[in-house]
């Protein structure tokens, strides 16, 4: 009868094995990519430290951080701080 005469040959076993391995590799790769996409923080946030999850709370703190990093000098810091507080630039510390 048929079950004794038409067995799967060597190439058939090889093809089935390779297709099963390819199937599981694709499933695992899709799962890893999905996990990485969902676990990634949002890009392009308004804060420079978005990767560390530290969002400055107000404009004065952002300005102080820029001054501390050396992005702006003392004169520009005082001028911008005065602008934020709504006073003339000469009265920044008051």
Q: Helix, strand, or coil here: 72?
A: coil
Mean pLDDT taken over the chain? 79
Q: Looking at residue 30, what is its pLDDT?
A: 97
Does residue 70 surpass a pLDDT of 80? yes
In terms of DSSP H, where are the helices of 1-94?
A: 2-5, 10-39, 59-69, 74-85
As a whole number of angstroms, the distance between CA 46 and CA 27 comes to 36
Rounded to whole angstroms, the Cα distance separating 22 from 25 reads 5
Given this model, what pLDDT does residue 23 score? 98
Least reliable range by pLDDT among 33-37, 47-51, 62-66, 85-89: 47-51
For 33-58, what is each residue's pLDDT tens digit? Answer: 999 888 876 655 555 554 555 555 68
Q: Which of 49 and 86 is assigned the larger pLDDT?
A: 86
């Amino acid at each position: 009868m048929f079950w004794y005469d038409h067995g799967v040959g060597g190439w058939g076993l090889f093809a089935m094995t390779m297709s099963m391995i390819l199937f599981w590799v694709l499933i695992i790769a899709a799962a890893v990519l999905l996990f990485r996409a969902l676990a990634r923080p949002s890009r392009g946030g308004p804060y420079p430290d978005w990767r560390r999850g530290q969002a400055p709370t107000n404009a004065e703190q952002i300005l102080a951080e820029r001054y501390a990093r050396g992005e702006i000098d003392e004169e520009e810091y005082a001028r911008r701080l005065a602008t934020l507080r709504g006073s003339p630039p000469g009265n920044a510390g008051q």
